[in-house]
Amino acid sequence: MNLDLWYRQAVLSVAGSPRVEALIKTRARSLVRRYVAGESLEEALQAAERLEVQGVHAILDLLGEMVHREEEARAFQRGILELVRAVAERPWPKYISLKLTQLGLDLSEALARELLRGILREAEPKGVFVRLDMEDSPRVEATLRLYKALREEGFSGVGLVLQSYLYRTEKDFWDLLPYRPNLRLVKGAYREPKEVAYGDKRLIDAEFLHLGKLALKEGLYVAFATHDPRLIAEVQRYTQAMGIPKERFEFQLLYGVRPEEQRRLAQEGYTVRAYVPYGTHWYPYLSRRIAERPENLFLVLRSLLGG
C-alpha cells in the first residue's frame, strides 16, 4: 500500500476511537485553536477581520456534518442563516461554505434540498456566495444531484467542489460543464477504498493539475485549494504561459496552514482565501487535518504530552 494512503487511513481509523476523541478534546485545545478560529461566530468574524488586514479573504464555515436527527439539521440551518446575516453586514467579500450532511442529507435529500434552498434564498440577495463542500464518495452522487437541482431552480450564487483522488471526477466534471460551475478543486481528505480513489500522491497531484487546467481551458472560474508549493507554482506557471488573467482563478488554503504563503500570494496580486472553520463540532475536521500530514500528528503528540 502507498505510504501516504496508509498514513491517512491509519490516522482516520485511530481518530474514530471514542477514547482518542475524548483525549484530544481534553488535552489538545491549543492545537485546535491553530486550525479552528473558535467556537463562536464572533471569534470567526474576528479571525476573518485579521485576515482581511493581510489581504487574505475568509471562507467562513460553521463546522458540522452527518447529523442523525432532523432537529439537528434545522438547528444547523439556523446557525448558517445567522452566519449569512453577519457576513452580509461586513465590507469584505462575502463567502461561506457548508456540508450537505450538516443539513440532513443522510436523512433525506428532500430535507437537505429544502434547508439549502432556504439558505440560498437569503444569501443570494445579500451577495453571499455559498460553497457546497464535497464529502466522502458515498455522498458524491447526491451532492451533485442537489447542486444541479438548485441551479435549475435559478440559484447562481452557489459553487461546488471536486476531488482529484476519486476515479470518477473527470466524468463528473464533464457532466457538470453545462452548468458552468464555480469550482473548488481539492485533492480529497476522506478515507476511501482503493476501488474508488487513487492512493498514490503522484497520481492525485497529476489529476489535480489535469482537472484544473481542463476547467480553465473550458472558461470556468477555478479555486485551487492546495498548500503544495509545487502545485501552486505550476498553476502560476501555466496561467502565465497561457495568458489567463488572475481574475479567472484563485488560491484557497486552510486557516492556520502556511499563513506566510497566503500573504505572499496575496501580495503578488492573486485572490487568496483562507478556509476559516468555527463551532463546537470541530473534531472530524481536525482529524482530517491530522491525517493530511505526518507533521500534524507530531503536533498532536506534543500537545498531548504538554497538556
Residues whose CB is less than 8 angstroms from the CB of residue 128 and which lie 6 or more positions away in sequence, other chains included: 84, 87, 88, 94, 95, 96, 122, 157
The reply to whether 188 sits in an annotated binding site is yes
- Distance of alpha carbon 126 from the chain centroid: 22
List, as own/partner pairs, every contact residues 201-207 make where C-beta atoms lie below 8 angstroms and the sequence separation is at least 24, other chains included: 201/2, 201/4, 204/164, 204/165, 205/164, 205/230, 205/231, 207/164, 207/165, 207/169, 207/170
According to the annotation, is 189 in a ligand binding site? yes
Known binding residue 25? Answer is no
- Catalytic (active site) residue 133: yes
From 184, 191, 205, 273, the catalytic residue: 184
Alpha-carbon torsion (110, 116, 122, 125), positive or negative: negative
Only one residue has cell 482516520, namely 12
Return the amino acid letter for 14: V
Per residue, the 3-state secondary structure of 56-96, as one string, reads CEEEEEECCCCCCCHHHHHHHHHHHHHHHHHHHCCCCCCEE
Cell of 9: 487511513
Residue 254 sits at the vertex; the CA angle it makes with 251 and 260, to the nearest 5 degrees, is 75
99 assigned to a ligand binding site: yes
Give the relative orientation of helices 169-176 and 140-152 as an angle to the nearest 10 degrees: 10
Q: Is 246 annotated as a binding residue?
A: no
Check the annotation: does 163 bind a ligand.
yes
Q: The cell 475524548 sits on which residue? A: 22
26 is in an annotated binding site: no
Give the 3-state secondary structure percentages of the chain, helix then strand then coil, rounded to 5: 60, 15, 30
31: exposed, middle or buried (Cβ count in 10 Å: 0-12, 13-18, 19+): buried
Among this protein's residues, is 145 annotated catalytic? no
Residue 66, marked binder: no
**What are φ and ψ of residue 219, in 5° steps?**
85, 15
> Among the options 61, 133, 136, 172, which is catalytic?
133
Is 248 known as a binding-site position?
no
What residue numbers does the annotated binding site for substrate cover?
99, 288-289
What residue numbers does the annotated binding site for FAD cover?
134, 163, 187-189, 201, 226-227
The residues that are catalytic are 133, 184
What residue numbers does the annotated binding site cover?
99, 134, 163, 187-189, 201, 226-227, 288-289
